[in-house]
Amino acid sequence: MKIFSICCVRDENDIVEETLKAALGWSDRIFVFDNGSVDGTWETLQDLANCHPRIELVGHDDRTFTDELRGDIFETRRHVASPGDWWCRLDSDEFFIDHPARFLKDVPHNYGFVLSATMNFYFTDADLRNYEENPAEWLARPVQERLRYYQNNWSEPRFVRHRRDLRWGGLIWPHNRGRTYPSRIRLKHFPYRSPAQISKRLAIRQQQPGLFKHEANRVLAKGLQPDWADSAPTPQHELASWRNRVREAAECDLDQGDGVFFTRDDLMPPLPSPALDLVKVGLRRTQLGRAIVSPLLRWRRSQFGWR
């Protein structure tokens, strides 16, 4: 069993090296596409690829990002995989808690799709105080050491099992991906890491409010409300700034560095029911079924931002 990762990145130079080096611990190949970085990310990627042959740079241009881009990359690299291998959607700001190779080895063959249990790490009021005391010293620390407050309030697809008839091109995920495994793989996600990085992230993503609806919202979900639950549109004049992304540490769980993380099924989007999943898998294998299921999936994406 091999694991092939697909990573699309833009302006993540403060974290991408940490992410890719960690992913080399379980990825057999990492295919990386850079869509228009101007902060040194592309140069860092070139250095990494020169040092690590398993990192392959598949493109670099300034096209507008879409989720379907990963499927395009898959179709050009599908020949490297064999049935039973796995493909990972690897984001440039995340680290797996569960070792993917060990986790996927135990997934029965009648399942082909694995979702995450995402621990979203936040830049909190406690972090802001530490940052303001000495910004340079604070930023010099590895991301996983300086950010310790999180909530498990998100879940989305991360792995799909390869088979010869898998088709992904032009789709968010393959329509014939198989059944969803009922256990989620845990990972740490670091979307908000410093005032400058948050400002840059929002500036990029607020240019695509349809794809990144949550980044157009001025108000970040508070307390125990899941981030994905607020799907109401936000007026243009209420676009978020970095200060709107500072969460209160008291609302979060604390990573003590002991490997213990609190999962919250009530805050994550629900897993599909096994019966409904079987129906969808069967429908996706027919032209008529795809015509029925695809509009429903597009509606769910527009409402909740996940697939």
d(CA 57, CA 8): 10
Q: Inform me whether the pLDDT recorded for 251 exceeds 70.
A: yes
In Å, the largest CA–CA distance within the chain is: 61
The reported pTM is 0.85
| Residues contacting residue 219 through CB under 8 Å, at least 6 positions apart | 230, 240, 244
- Cross-strand partners of 157: 115
Contact 228, 305 (CB under 8 A): yes
- Other CB atoms within 10 Å distance of the CB of residue 280: 20
d(CA 284, CA 292): 9
- The 3-state DSSP composition of the chain as helix, strand, coil percent (nearest 5) reads 35, 20, 45
Confidence of residue 240 (pLDDT cuts 50, 70, 90): confident
Domains of the chain: 3-271 (3.90.550), 275-302 (no CATH)
The predicted pLDDT at position 108 comes to 97
DSSP state at residue 238:
G
Under DSSP, is residue 241 helix (H, G, I), strand (E, B) or coil? Answer: coil
DSSP state at residue 206:
T
- Condensed to tens digits (0 to 9), the pLDDT of residues 14-62 reads 999 999 999 999 999 999 999 999 999 999 999 999 999 999 999 999 8
What are 3's two structure tokens?
């694991």
φ/ψ of residue 88, rounded to 5:
-115, 135
